[in-house]
Amino acid sequence: MPKPPTRTVTPASIVEAMRAPSHGPSDARASFASGQCVRGTYLPSNRASEITKSRSFTTPCRVLGRFAVDGGNSGAADADRRMLHGFSFRLGSNGHRSDILTQSAPVHYARTLAQMLGFLEVRMPGPDGNPDPAKVAAFSAANPETLHQADHVSARPPTASFAGTTYWGVHAFPATNAKGETRFIKFKVSPVGGDLVLSEDEARAQPADFLHDDLKIRIAAGDVRFSLMALLDRPGDPVMDVTIRWPDEDHREAVRLGTIVITRIAPNDACDAISFDPANLAEGIGPPPDEIFAARSTAYGLKLLV
């Protein structure tokens, strides 16, 4: 059965494998290529300082964000239920900025960089334009944790709106409060008003860009709000493995750090000109210890993912 590659794997080789199926330009996003830039504000809760002393999360600020559909194809259909949706945003100012990257599934599809490259390589299109199903099945059997993300996506109904989707940060971040107390947290971004979903028939009837169009209509009619939550760790939680959830994650203690209020659509140039770099973390939020985060940070730093 196929195992993850044993050769040296680099962030650059991962990005190359991500770009290969889309045949996109070398300066294009390798993932979440189809997106919409937005602006708004962040209003901290009175409990944010209990979790972190980071001024990104404890001080009101402006927000630059981007909603997107996964994949390297900037023309990806919004209605494809197999696609992840992402929400990246930047909080803070004056040297206290943090970039947070979240997605519509609570886990990643690989635990290690080698496993991630193996996952991507067996899904490369063959001469007929499709991956070899036998290779995919064999790799999945040898690496069952690589199916957790897809299983989560397939078990949920199609989303009706970027503004009505729950987004997770799959990594465990060490957060330090003003008392010097440090614990791991996971970010969860919950739409105020709850998730908005479609039936399968409704999803199939939607035009290709319906999520982008819906977002513009909703913002024109009024602001879009999300609660930024910190899920709190417990002893023994798996902070190194991004393919599995914390036990009872949906029902454990969480603290609302604040509210993200999206107030207007922004030109995509505003987001294209920067990189939402996960390594940008203001003091009080540390880098997660897992291997995937370290590689992701390097890739963004090298402008391989933007």
Residue extents of the structural domains in the chain: 11-301
Is the Cβ–Cβ distance between 167 and 103 less than 8 Å? Answer: yes
Contacts of 63 (CB under 8 A, 6+ apart): 38, 39, 40, 41, 42, 89, 90, 91, 260, 261, 262
Beta-bridged to residue 159, according to DSSP, are 197
What does pTM read for this prediction?
A: 0.91
Mean pLDDT by 10 residues, the chain (306 residues): 62 83 61 89 98 97 95 60 88 92 96 94 90 96 96 93 97 97 98 94 90 95 96 96 96 96 95 86 96 82 50
Q: What is the pLDDT of residue 304?
A: 46
pLDDT in tens, 264-281: 999 999 998 887 889 899
> Which class in CATH covers the domain with range 11-301?
mainly beta
Q: What is the pLDDT of residue 151?
A: 95
pLDDT in tens, 231-265: 999 999 999 999 999 999 999 999 999 999 999 99
Contacts of 45 (CB under 8 A, 6+ apart): 255, 256, 257, 258, 259
